[in-house]
């Protein structure tokens, strides 16, 4: 049958590609289709339309969860990218010595396992014996210990700080690679023309790094949207849902055996991720 439409060389290529397609179908396509199916049926496998989604929307914590997700994503991505870019620009300067050593040290926060980071930071934030409270009290910046992870107003910013500390090295690595690819001749010409540092950054560096910036921001956004480990280990979504985000809500519903509600939220998270994926695909298509 295949011989009618494909040459012998193409049939051999299909034989090599087929196992990968099969694995992709089993590990990606089938779970996605299963989640879609469960989001539209009830416990008796009867089609209920958008009832599961309606139930999710009516949840008293849904609005707060979306707000937390937006704050979490925008805040962590913006800060991680800004700090990573600043570190990359600094380490790219000629007067900095031991640049590779500094990059290696800064990368430690990224390559350390997520569970380890979450546990260590939870201990640092501890109200009773945390090192952070001890240091701030020693410096007379606070008079009494602060409940970093138990306060409804401080819990989310505290976990966001850890997420930024964890992900900014990736932005630094991407921007450093992009900076090293820029010809130094461009900066020499700019110096001869009397361009200031701000002008060099605005007219040379950032325009030439636009593709790197796009990829770095896209990856950071996806990581933030799917962030789970830090929040779960450090706060488990509390206190009072102040750190509840989409990824954590999915887990909570699965833990409560609400498979259909969890599937509905999973589809919502997938749709949000697809917005950025389509954005990337369309941008890539324009550049081909």
**In this structure, how many other beta carbons lie within 10 angstroms of the beta carbon of residue 65?**
22
Rg of the Cα trace of the chain?
24
Instruction: Report the alpha-carbon angle 147-150-156, nearest 5.
Output: 100
Question: For residues 62 and 66, what is the distance between their CA atoms, to the nearest angstrom?
Answer: 6
3-state helix, strand, coil in the chain (%, to 5): 75, 0, 25
Q: Which of 269, 93, 163, 286 is nearest to 171 (CA)?
A: 163
Q: Are residues 80 and 168 in contact, defined by beta-carbon separation less than 8 angstroms? A: yes
What does the block give as tokens for 78? 């913006």
- What is the predicted pLDDT for the residue at 5? 67
- Long-range contacts for 228-233 (Cβ within 8 Å, ≥24 apart)? 229/114, 229/115, 229/118, 230/114, 230/117, 230/118, 230/121, 230/159, 230/162, 230/163, 230/166, 231/159, 232/118, 233/115, 233/118, 233/119, 233/122
- What is the predicted pLDDT for the residue at 287? 62
- What is the predicted pLDDT for the residue at 264? 94
Alpha-carbon separation of residue 238 from 15, 159, 283 (angstroms) = 51, 11, 38
Question: For residues 284 and 288, what is the distance between their CA atoms, to the nearest angstrom?
Answer: 7
- What is the predicted pLDDT for the residue at 132? 94
Question: For residues 225 and 73, what is the distance between their CA atoms, to the nearest angstrom?
Answer: 6
- What is the predicted pLDDT for the residue at 4? 62
Cis before residue 25, ω within 30 degrees of 0? no
Which residues does the chain have with pLDDT short of 50?
Answer: none
Query: In sequence order, which residues have a C-beta less than 8 Å from that of residue 225 and are 6 or more positions away?
Result: 69, 73, 246, 247, 269, 272, 273
């Amino acid at each position: 049958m295949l011989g009618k439409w494909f040459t012998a060389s193409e049939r051999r290529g299909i034989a090599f590609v087929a196992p990968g397609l099969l694995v992709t179908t089993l590990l990606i396509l089938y779970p996605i289709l299963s989640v879609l199916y469960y989001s539209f049926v009830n416990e008796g496998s009867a089609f209920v339309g958008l009832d599961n989604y309606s139930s999710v929307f009516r949840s008293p914590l849904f609005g707060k969860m979306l707000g937390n997700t937006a704050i979490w994503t925008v805040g962590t991505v913006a800060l991680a990218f800004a700090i990573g870019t600043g570190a990359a620009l600094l380490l790219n300067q000629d007067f900095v010595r031991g640049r590779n050593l500094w990059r290696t040290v800064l990368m430690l926060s990224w390559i350390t396992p997520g569970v380890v980071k979450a546990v260590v930071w939870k201990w640092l934030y501890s109200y009773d014996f945390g090192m952070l409270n001890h240091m701030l009290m020693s410096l007379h910046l606070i008079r009494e210990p602060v409940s970093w992870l138990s306060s409804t107003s401080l819990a989310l910013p505290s976990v966001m700080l850890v997420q930024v500390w964890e992900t900014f090295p990736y932005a630094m690595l991407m921007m450093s690679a992009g900076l090293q690819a820029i010809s130094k001749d461009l900066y020499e010409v700019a110096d001869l023309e009397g361009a200031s540092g701000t002008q060099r950054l605005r007219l040379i560096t950032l325009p030439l790094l636009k593709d790197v910036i796009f990829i770095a921001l896209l990856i950071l956004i996806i990581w933030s949207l799917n962030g789970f480990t830090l929040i779960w280990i450090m706060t488990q979504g509390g206190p009072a849902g102040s750190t509840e985000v989409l990824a954590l809500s999915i887990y909570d519903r699965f833990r409560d055996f609400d498979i259909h509600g969890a599937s509905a939220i999973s589809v919502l998270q997938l749709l949000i991720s697809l917005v950025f994926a389509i954005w990337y695909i369309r941008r890539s298509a324009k550049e081909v």
